[in-house]
Chain A
Amino acid sequence: MLNTGHPIEHEELMAYLDGELEVTRASVAAEHLERCADCRKLAADLRGVSRAMLAWEVEESGLRPPAGRSANLRRWWRSKPVLAVAASCMVAGVWVTLRNENLPSPAQLASSAGRTAMLVAPERPPSTTEFGTRLRAQFTDRQIVRTAELELAAADLEDARQAMEATVNRHRGYIGTINMKMDSGAPRWINANLVIPSHELAATLAELRKVGRVVSESQLAEDVTERSVDLDARLSNARIAEQRLKEILQQRPGKISEVLEVEREVARVRGEIEKMDAERKGLATRVDFATISVKVGEPAAAQSHGLGAAASRGWKVLVDGLTAVAETILTAAPTVLLLGALFFPARFAWKRFRKKSAA
């Protein structure tokens, strides 16, 4: 655009205001602005547009990084060689596709956006969402649900219970449930479910092992990363669907029956959101907190040592054997008596029959 009587074009003036004009032209523009009222007016208008546009502010997102903050990627790759190989293959694939370009290619990004669109368009095939889930799972800290079972034998169950409680408190956990049978004259035991922060599990188990003699122990680690990521994606889908339904409700009023139908759909989606939200929180809690199932019993007498203990065990074996015989006899007695009651009359009848036949 040429401006008769102006040493600079209007576009140059705008570039000058934007700090985008080369130095030599910028000095001309600055000098001209001082002298030309028209250009000062134009400059004021352009600045006014920029100022007006600032009125459109955007709320904060509150987003969190796609993966957790604690992990160092290099450590992560080393600690998870299988995923590292998978990730390397993926990066290699991307590199082969895009080696001629600095940025990811449009095809890749379109594909990526397609995956994103999948998250908001439930009607699409699920496979892409699953791919997206796996992809996110690869770049997300592994989420592991840890459980352990521990069976102990302790001479004094009351001491064992107190030691167990102290251990749980020390590791900032709590006792979920506890059942005790403390009657004398019968085997006594304690069953407890302990809930411990996951990172305290190993230390807690180490202390619990000192409460008594370890009879058995098992640990289970369940990787729920993909499940968690999938849940996040489905939750996001549902929220978007809900928002769209609400927008439809606000912007496209139709027949009452249609409005009611949309409202029912909104209620259904809301129900799903709440259900998934609860599941997500439950899963997160299970990841954050490990559970230990502890059973503490008194030591079996058979495992005592010494002559007295051996004699005691012998006596117990004898008593148990006699008891077993008595139990067998008593169990069989009714049947034996019944058969006896039938046998003798039958035998008597048979003998009389033989005698008559002989005569």
Chain B
Amino acid sequence: MTSDEGLMLQFRGGSREAFDELFDRYRETLFAFFRRRLESRARAEELTQETFLAVLRATELYEPRSPVRSYLFGIAFRLLSAERRTTNRAATVRERGLVDDGTEQALWVRQALSRLEPAERDLLMLREYEQLSYDEIAALLKIPVNTVRSRLFRARIALKEYLEPAGKETSNA
């Protein structure tokens, strides 16, 4: 199987098929990235398309030394940041989803995540859902790797507390 980077180079060489293959590989990943962070499914779809359009527009800017995955998430994260600035949603995770888009447990996770500090939440979600490495997260958020590690640890410990059943939480208080 051709690597992502190989496909990107083929695409730069003019291969539409290579782009389509990349689209197939990252379509759902990027959609999930936006979907977990925006209330509107339609908006998540729009921004996923925008990410690929940005790749189309700026194909000459991609350099082989940069992993395609980081490149795509870089674009997606910037689009998300711009979207948040535009709509004043200020890094809020979807607290109210559509009725049919998740289980009770999923709702519980979403609510717990919404209680985290925005910066820690972003970081934790990038790690858990997008499976980015510490280095990738550091590059994306423009912070040192050590900061990634310490924030990630804090975020996980905090989330563990928020995920505890309410009864235990109150009895501890």
Contact = CB atoms under 8 A, between A and B. Distances in A.
Q: Do A and B form a real pair?
A: yes
B53 A98 contact: no
Contacts of B16: 67, 69-73, 76
B9 interface: no
Given A10-B153, A50-B128, A73 B19 contact: yes
B14 A116 contact: no
A135 B102 CA distance: 35
B79 interface: yes
A63 interface: yes
Contacts of B129: 53, 56
Contacts of A71: 16
B109 A109 contact: no
A98 to B, nearest CB: 6
B58 A91 contact: yes
Nearest to A77: B14
Interface in B9-66: 11, 13-17, 19-20, 23, 27-28, 31-32, 35-36, 39-50, 52-54, 56-63, 66
A110 B46 contact: no
A73 B14 contact: yes
Contacts of B61: 94-95, 98, 101-104
Contacts of A45: 157, 160
Chain A: interface secondary structure?
helix
B31 A63 contact: yes
Nearest to A63: B27
Interface in A1-18: 1, 10-11, 14-15, 18
Interface stretch (A172-180, A236-244, A301-309): A236-244
Contacts of B17: 69, 72
B15 A73 contact: yes
A112 B59 CA distance: 15
Chain B: interface secondary structure?
helix
A63 B45 contact: yes
A157 to B, nearest CB: 47
Given A58-B31, A63-B45, A117 B86 contact: yes
A67 B18 CA distance: 13
Contacts of B81: 106
Interface string B136-169: 0000000000000110110011011001000000
A106 B45 CA distance: 20
A56 B36 CA distance: 9
A37 interface: no
B43 to A, nearest CB: 6
Contacts of B109: 52-53, 55-56
Contacts of A60: 28, 31
Given A119-B46, A120-B43, A139-B56, A58 B36 contact: yes
Contacts of A108: 54, 58
Given A18-B127, A109-B75, 19 more contacts: A10-B153, A11-B150, A55-B103, A57-B102, A61-B31, A69-B16, A70-B16, A72-B14, A73-B15, A73-B19, A74-B14, A77-B14, A91-B58, A94-B58, A95-B60, A106-B81, A109-B54, A113-B82, A135-B53
Counting from the closest, the 5 A-B pairs by CB-CB distance are A74-B14, A113-B82, A61-B31, A58-B32, A55-B105
